[in-house]
């Protein structure tokens, strides 16, 4: 999915959920008010960054005071569309899919897994949290009946593209992809990718460099 010019930069959109997350912790701690400085320290972002990001959406702070935690949190939630609960489906019920299906953190943050699917017949009927595993063949029906726009894909890489095709054909516009492959989608569909191995590899890069530096210093 592309960004249209003059739109809010995607980097900013990706930070908003982090702000929301941190603000909800602050709210739980009973903190009433927070400055961009304080919030930034928690998140590892500069104060200016936070103020600039928020300024795309309005004026939420008070000069000399900072931001009211509940107020700002409410606004960010609404900006993200989280005043509604988003029904999603999960496809793929290997160990990872099962962990996702059981994780409480989705529902508490506005994401409701309303259906769980697998093509392995031996898994059909398995109970996972509030969901019962259904066959992939039921996907189109459920997607359309519930007007599902978001999906989580946790199938092996070889199956990911076909699953994504079915999802997209049936109206899904946002996909969280755990399979280690870049899936092809029409450009009105958003895809976000989780590849823990790739993230680890980006760190082995730096750790290897450190070795070299140390070796150099020994000369």
Partner DNA sequence: ATGTGTGAATTACTTCACAGCG
Partner DNA sequence: CGCTGTGAAGTAATTCACACAT
Question: Does 64 sit near DNA (CB under 7 A)?
Answer: yes
CB atoms within 10 A of CB 178: 22
- Which alpha helices (H) appear in 66-195, and where do they start and end? 69-79, 95-102, 139-145, 157-169
Cα angle value 7/53/64 (rounded, 5°): 145
For DNA, the closer CB: 72 or 148: 72
Please, how many CA atoms are within 13 Å of residue 168, restricted to the half-sphere of its CB?
18
Binding mask 22-41 for DNA (x = CB under 7 A): -------------xxx----
Q: What is the rounded CA–CA span in Å between residue 74 and residue 80?
A: 10
Taking residue 130's Cβ as centre, other Cβ atoms within 10 Å add up to: 12
Our CB check for a copy of itself shows the closer of 166 and 189 to be 189
Tell the smallest beta-carbon distance from residue 63 to a copy of itself (Å): 26
**93 among annotated binding-site residues:** yes
95 is in an annotated binding site: yes
- Selected binder of a copy of itself within 5, 6, 196, 218 (CB under 8 A): 196
Whether the CB-CB separation of 155 and 133 falls below 8 Å is answered with: no
Report the C-alpha gap between 103 and 113 in whole angstroms.
Answer: 10
Q: How far is the CB of 112 from a copy of itself (least distance, A)?
A: 11
To a copy of itself, the closest distance from the beta carbon of 106 in angstroms equals 6
Residue from 1, 25, 32, 52 touching DNA (CB under 7 A): that is 52
Q: Is 67 in the site for DNA (CB under 7 A)?
A: yes
Task: Work out which of 16, 19, 23, 61 binds DNA, going by CB under 7 A.
Answer: 61
CB 106 within 8 A of CB 112: yes
- Chosen residue from 1, 48, 182, 198 binding DNA by CB under 7 A: 48
Q: Report which secondary-structure segment, H or E, holds 13.
A: helix 10-28
**Which residue ranges make up the site for DNA (CB under 7 A)?**
5, 9-12, 35-37, 45-49, 51-52, 54-55, 59-67
Binding-site residue ranges for NAD(+): 92-97
């Amino acid at each position: 999915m592309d960004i249209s010019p003059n739109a809010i930069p995607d980097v900013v959109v990706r930070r908003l959920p982090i702000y929301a997350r941190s603000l909800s912790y602050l709210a739980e701690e009973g903190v009433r008010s927070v400055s961009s400085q304080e919030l930034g320290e928690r998140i590892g972002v500069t104060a200016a960054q936070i103020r600039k990001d928020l300024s795309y959406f309005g004026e939420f702070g008070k000069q000399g005071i900072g931001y009211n935690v509940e107020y700002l949190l409410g606004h960010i939630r609404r900006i993200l569309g989280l005043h509604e609960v988003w029904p999603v489906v999960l496809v793929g019920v290997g160990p990872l899919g099962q962990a996702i299906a059981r994780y409480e953190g989705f529902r508490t943050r506005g994401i409701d897994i309303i259906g769980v699917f697998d093509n392995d017949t031996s898994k059909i009927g398995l109970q996972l949290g509030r969901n019962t595993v259904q066959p992939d063949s039921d996907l189109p029906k459920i997607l359309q009946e519930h007007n599902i726009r978001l999906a989580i894909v946790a199938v092996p890489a070889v199956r990911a593209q076909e699953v994504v095709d079915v999802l997209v054909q049936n109206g899904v516009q946002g996909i969280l992809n755990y399979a280690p492959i870049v899936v092809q989608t029409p450009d009105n569909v958003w895809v976000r990718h989780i590849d823990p191995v790739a993230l680890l590899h980006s760190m082995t890069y730096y750790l290897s460099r450190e070795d070299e530096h140390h070796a150099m210093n020994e000369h």
